[in-house]
């Protein structure tokens, strides 16, 4: 019987990579003096809760994970590049989280509603056409935003670290040695990527909101906010299933759009980026093994 591998994830940060296990996480950052600094922490009790294993509920934990843990890792990496008096801490980090969440919802969920509502009011289109316009605009905004920020030199480096993260996890899941010269040969796409998650949420929003009937503007805006957690939970389950089916020929068309979008959010990493990703993964993996040997009682 083939041993079931643990499901690890990660995220690119500023000049570094964060890797997350079942109970531990680690972030490795390349500092201005070219050294690698690794920060390791235990995940909160939330991740050891029985709810984390419940289908459709666990997707909400992933959404929270992407926001809180992701901002935590990004803040740490930014601070490692900044002077001491320029570092982001405490309330500033919380405000960054709230602002990022609010801006994302406003741009990708509320703005398309307003534009589609204007089409409905001035062109007298049917509800079906209006919902389709809203969905296509939401998808175009996501792809356009990812492409546009990818033209910035600093973001291009983040995308390189994103590719290093994927290559490292792909190498581990293939049983390969975690050496830069080995890891670099693996794909920079991964079916469980957060990019795939975002794309799936947007596509599901197009399908789901198309079934909603005509509504005034305010209830329409509120419905897009209220159903974000539901769509996130549904998208997470879809990503998990398609990742399991990736070796089936019939499933490849389902996975292809997610992998294609990752061509925009990842770049081929250099060896120094791979070294950072491997350092983060090995630090996280070591703590995971130690946790398995000595289970927590909390």
What are 97-117's pLDDT values in tens digits? Answer: 677 778 888 888 889 999 988
Predicted pLDDT at 89: 63
Q: What is the DSSP letter of 294?
A: S
Q: What is the pLDDT of residues 49-101, one digit of tens each?
A: 777 778 888 878 767 777 788 888 888 898 888 766 566 665 566 676 677 77
Angle between helices 217-226 and 228-244 in degrees, nearest 10 = 40
Comparing 32 with 62, the larger pLDDT belongs to 32
- What b/e string do you get for 228-245 counting C-beta neighbours within 10 Å, with b at 16 or more? beebbbbbbebbbebbee
* Least confidently predicted of 59-73, 229-243, 253-267: 59-73
| Dist CA 122 CA 111 (whole Å) | 17
Q: Which strand ranges, in their side-by-side order, compose the sheet holding 36-42?
A: 9-13, 16-20, 24-30, 36-42
Q: pLDDT at residue 258 above 70?
A: yes
Mean pLDDT of 195-220: 85
Rounded (10°) CA dihedral 261, 95, 72, 293: -110
- What b/e string do you get for 2-14 counting C-beta neighbours within 10 Å, with b at 16 or more? eeeeeebbbbbbb
Q: What is the DSSP letter of 256?
A: H
**What's the predicted TM-score (pTM) here?**
0.86
- What tokens were used for 63? 């959404």
- Terminus-to-terminus CA distance in the chain, angstroms? 32
Q: Mean of the per-residue pLDDT values for the chain?
A: 86
Predicted pLDDT at 2: 46
Q: What is the pLDDT of residues 261-296, one digit of tens each?
A: 999 999 999 999 999 999 999 999 999 999 877 655
Predicted pLDDT at 1: 39
Q: Are 237 and 56 in contact (CB under 8 A)?
A: yes
Q: pLDDT at residue 44 above 50?
A: yes
- What tokens were used for 213? 């009937």
Write out the DSSP string of 51-84: GGGSTTTHHHHHHHIIIIIHHHHHHHHHHHHS-G
Phi, psi torsion values for 278, nearest 5 degrees: -65, -40
* Least confidently predicted of 25-34, 60-69, 156-165, 289-298: 289-298
Comparing 47 with 110, the larger pLDDT belongs to 110
- What b/e string do you get for 168-201 counting C-beta neighbours within 10 Å, with b at 16 or more? bbbbbeeeeebebeebbebebbbbbbbbbbbbbb
Predicted pLDDT at 197: 84
């Amino acid at each position: 019987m083939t041993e079931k591998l643990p499901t690890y994830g990660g995220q690119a940060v500023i000049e570094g990579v964060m890797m997350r296990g079942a109970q531990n996480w680690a972030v490795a950052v390349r500092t201005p003096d070219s050294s690698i600094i690794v920060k390791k922490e235990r995940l909160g009790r939330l991740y050891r809760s029985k709810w984390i294993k419940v289908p459709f509920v666990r997707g909400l934990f992933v959404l929270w994970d992407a926001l809180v843990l992701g901002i935590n890792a990004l803040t740490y990496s930014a601070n490692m590049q900044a002077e001491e008096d320029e570092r982001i801490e405490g309330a500033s980090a919380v405000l960054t989280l709230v602002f990022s969440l609010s801006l994302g919802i406003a741009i990708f969920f509320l703005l398309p509603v307003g534009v589609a509502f204007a089409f409905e009011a001035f062109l007298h289109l049917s509800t079906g056409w209006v919902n389709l316009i809203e969905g296509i605009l939401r998808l175009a905004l996501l792809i356009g935003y990812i492409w546009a920020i990818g033209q910035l030199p600093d973001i291009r480096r983040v995308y390189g670290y994103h590719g290093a993260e994927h290559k490292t996890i792909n190498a581990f899941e293939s049983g390969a040695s975690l050496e830069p010269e080995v890891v670099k040969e693996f794909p920079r796409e991964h079916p469980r990527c957060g990019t795939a998650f975002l794309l799936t949420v947007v596509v599901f929003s197009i399908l789901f909101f198309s079934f909603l009937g005509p509504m005034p503007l305010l209830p329409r805006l509120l419905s897009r906010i209220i159903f974000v957690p539901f769509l996130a939970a549904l998208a997470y389950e879809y990503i998990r299933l398609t990742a399991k089916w990736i070796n089936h020929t019939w499933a490849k068309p389902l996975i292809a759009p997610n992998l294609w979008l990752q061509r925009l959010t990842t770049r081929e990493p250099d060896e120094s980026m791979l070294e950072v990703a491997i350092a983060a993964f090995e630090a996280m993996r070591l703590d995971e093994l130690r946790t398995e040997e000595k289970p927590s009682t909390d």
